[in-house]
């Protein structure tokens, strides 16, 4: 299991109900790469046919997942909370 999260080690807010494909293992994905989006970067996460999900925080056995919401008229939509899983 990879956990290269750099400074992202704090879990913000309360845990939410695990949704969709939150998991306790991940690889590396490229996020925010569409024209008009924030600068692209590599993140810990996984990719689906419908998009990427990335680990926003990992601490105390909780993994906070976020959806990389590239799209909209300007090429980017604010990324959203995807769910939290206790691992």
Strand locations in the chain, DSSP E? 27-31, 41-48, 51-59, 62-67, 80-86
Place of tokens 């494909």: 21
CB of 38 within 8 A of CB of 24?
no
Q: Where are the domains of the chain?
A: 1-87
**Cα(65)–Cα(42) distance, rounded to whole angstroms?**
15
CB of 63 within 8 A of CB of 84?
yes
Q: Encode pLDDT of 31-72 as tens digits.
A: 888 777 778 899 999 988 778 889 988 899 999 999 988 766
**CB-neighbour burial class of residue 78 (10 A; exposed 0-12, middle 13-18, buried 19+):** exposed
Confidence of residue 2 (pLDDT cuts 50, 70, 90): very low
């Amino acid at each position: 299991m990879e956990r290269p999260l750099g400074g992202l080690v704090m879990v913000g807010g309360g845990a939410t109900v695990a949704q969709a494909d939150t998991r306790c293992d991940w690889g590396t994905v490229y996020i925010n790469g569409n024209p008009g989006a924030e600068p692209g970067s590599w993140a810990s996460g996984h990719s689906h046919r419908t998009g990427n999900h990335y680990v926003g925080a990992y601490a105390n056995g909780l993994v906070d997942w976020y959806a990389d919401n590239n799209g909209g008229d300007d090429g980017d939509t604010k990324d959203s909370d995807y769910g939290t899983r206790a691992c």
